[in-house]
């Protein structure tokens, strides 16, 4: 199963660890993110424990209104990124210590953080295929040239590069589906 560490996420999304730096090598195995409204209300029957939990202004306001005992019980099951430079509730820090989970802070709005994290994880966790061929950027469009060995793929690519186009990969091209409409090659 593919994974990305919390450390890699921090580096690529520019998040700030505010608790649990010793846990940054924990693996992330899914690109799905939760905004834990129902979970914070205590509905944990279908709780996706492997997902990153994203708290914004709405969620932190709700947490502040909860009874302290319930707050701690609910938070022991979650792993968090907090947006908008909001401070984590003390129960979250206690729960993170108990579960050995890092807490990360983002400066952006919650929707922007969600989008950035999802896009990064989708790209890194996507299933990849390796194809024998040459990949070029021709007028901003990916062009994949495939064929048997010796048919002239590299020579064709060289001609296109000499005309100002960009070589992306030669011989082995890694492909993955970024979203429903986008195929990425590298």
Joined tokens for residue 136: 């070029």
Q: What are phi and psi of 144, to 5 degrees?
A: -105, 120
> How far apart are alpha carbons 115 and 112 in whole angstroms?
5
Let me know: does 101 contact 23? Beta carbons within 8 Å: yes
Let me know: does 144 contact 172? Beta carbons within 8 Å: no
Look at the block and give the residue holding tokens 């429903």: 180
Label each residue of 101-167 as H, E or C: CCEEECCCCHHHHHHHHHHHHHHHHCCEEEEEEEEEEECCEEEEEECCCCCCHHHHHHHHHHCCCEE
95: Cβ–Cβ under 8 A, 6 or more apart, which residues? 72, 75, 76, 77, 78, 101
CA 101 to chain centre: 17
51 three-state secondary structure: coil
Bridge partners (DSSP) listed for residue 27: 5
Q: What is the pLDDT along the chain (186 residues), one digit of tens a residue?
A: 799 999 999 999 989 999 999 999 999 999 999 888 888 887 878 777 788 989 999 998 998 888 877 777 777 666 688 899 998 888 888 888 888 889 999 999 999 999 999 999 998 999 999 999 999 999 999 999 999 999 999 999 999 999 999 999 999 999 998 888 889 999
pLDDT at 79: 65
């Amino acid at each position: 199963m593919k994974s990305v560490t919390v450390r890699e996420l921090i580096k690529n999304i520019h998040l700030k660890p505010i608790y649990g730096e010793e846990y940054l090598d924990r693996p992330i195995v899914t690109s799905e993110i939760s905004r834990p409204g129902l979970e914070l209300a205590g509905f944990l029957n279908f709780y996706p424990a492997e997902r990153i939990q994203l708290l914004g202004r709405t969620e932190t306001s709700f947490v502040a209104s909860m009874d302290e005992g319930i707050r701690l019980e609910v938070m022991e099951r979650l792993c968090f990124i907090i947006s908008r430079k909001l401070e984590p509730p003390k129960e979250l820090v206690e729960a993170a210590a108990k579960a050995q989970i890092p807490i990360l802070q983002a400066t952006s709005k919650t929707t922007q953080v969600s989008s950035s994290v999802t896009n990064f994880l989708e790209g890194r966790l996507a299933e990849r295929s390796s194809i024998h061929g040459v990949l070029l950027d021709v007028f901003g469009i990916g062009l994949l040239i495939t064929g048997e060995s010796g048919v002239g793929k590299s020579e064709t690519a060289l001609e296109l590069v000499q005309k100002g186009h960009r070589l992306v990969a030669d011989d082995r091209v890694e492909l993955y589906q970024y979203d429903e409409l986008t195929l990425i090659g590298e």
